[in-house]
Amino acid sequence: EAQVTQNPRYLITVTGKKLTVTCSQNMNHEYMSWYRQDPGLGLRQIYYSMNVEVTDKGDVPEGYKVSRKEKRNFPLILESPSPNQTSLYFCASSPTGAKNQPQHFGDGTRLSIL
Amino acid sequence: AQSVTQLGSHVSVSEGALVLLRCNYSSSVPPYLFWYVQYPNQGLQLLLKYTTGATLVKGINGFEAEFKKSETSFHLTKPSAHMSDAAEYFCAVSEPHTGFQKLVFGTGTRLLVSP
């Protein structure tokens, strides 16, 4: 089954403790992206990747890092999490990142930073 | 920069009633337009999209949307609501001035369906 898999689905942690949210897709997609969803704000893009070793900032990249060492994986790293990063996070992918392609989304990761 | 406006953070309808969820975008250049649905504890699923061609687009689960350039709108409709349609709906546009897809999302509309 074609899918985008995120782990963990839920995480409660404390300020300053480094964490990684993994994202993996099995569709051989070149384009991958991370979003955060906050009430009243919709989804905002954090980082995206056009292909292996090619990443760039989205609209809200502060406090986040990403890497793309393999095509299928695109982890989101919070080096020193803070409470304002408490949010619902989604990973998404599309075949090439062309403007007319819909994105496929994972089921989300709910992060609570205390 | 592109912006997307979804009027009404919550819309309530009775089962069997017409569903109308509104979406307006700001671009002067026709963008690519998408509607996504989010069920509880799930990711976003594509309902339908407009890229080029026919302005009335049909999607899954009986939904459709009409692209109206003169009104910069892409409203989502369904003739008869089902209980299973209760979810959050997001309109998104693909920025027309970038070489690749950059989605800008509206703030979402939660559809409530009562028996």
DSSP A38-83: ETTTEEEEEEEEEETTEEEE-S--TT-EE--SSTTB--EEESS--G
Give the residue from B9, B59, B43, B108 showing the smallest Cα distance to B67.
B59
What average pLDDT does this structure show over B11-25?
A: 97
Interface test with A, best of B23, B49, B103 (most A CBs within 10 A): B103
Q: List the one residue out of B38, B85, B74, B78 whose CA is nearest residue B59.
A: B78
Count the residues in chain A: 114
As a whole number of Å, the CA-based R_g of chain A is 13
Chain A contact for B115 (CB, 8 A cutoff): no
Lowest pLDDT segment from A49-63, A88-102, B68-82, B94-108: B94-108
Query: Over pLDDT 70: what percentage of chain B?
Result: 100
DSSP B34-75: EEEEE-TTS-EEEEEEE-SS-SEEE-GGG-EEEEEGGGTEEE
pLDDT band at B98 (very low <50, low <70, confident <90, very high): confident
Strands A4-7 and A76-78: unpaired
pLDDT computed for residue B28 by the predictor:
72
Q: What is the largest CA-CA distance in chain B?
A: 46
Q: pLDDT digits over A9-36, tens only?
A: 999 999 999 999 999 999 999 999 999 9
Q: Over 80: is that where the pLDDT of B29 sits?
A: no
Confidence of residue B100 (pLDDT cuts 50, 70, 90): confident
B89: three-class secondary structure by DSSP = strand
**Peptide bond before residue A95 is cis, with ω within 30 degrees of 0:** no
Closest-CA residue in chain A for B7?
Answer: A40
8-state DSSP, A22: E
Q: Which residues of B touch A23 (CB under 8 A)?
A: none
Alpha carbon A76 to its chain's center: 5
Instruction: Find residue B25's DSSP bridge partners.
Output: B4
Residues 6+ apart with CB under 8 A from A71: A28, A29, A30, A51, A52
User: Who has greater pLDDT, B100 or A101?
Assistant: A101
Across chain A, mean pLDDT equals 95
What is the arithmetic mean of pLDDT over B87-98?
A: 88
Q: Are residues A97 and B101, on separate chains, in Cβ contact within 8 Å?
A: yes
For residue B76, pLDDT beyond 80: yes
Over the stretch A59-89, which tens digit does the pLDDT of each residue have? Answer: 999 999 999 999 999 999 999 999 999 999 9
CB-nearest partner of A102 from B34, B42, B95: B34
Q: Is A84 helix (H, G, I), strand (E, B) or coil?
A: helix
- Asked if B90's CB is within 8 angstroms of A43's CB, the reply is yes
User: pLDDT band for position B54 (50/70/90)?
Assistant: confident
Confidence band for B102, pLDDT divided at 50, 70 and 90: confident
Among B32, B101, B107, B109, the strongest candidate for a mutation testing the A interface, having the largest count of A CBs within 10 A, is B101
What is the least distance, in Å, from the CA of A105 to any CA of chain B?
Answer: 6
Helix (H, G, I), strand (E, B) or coil at B80: coil
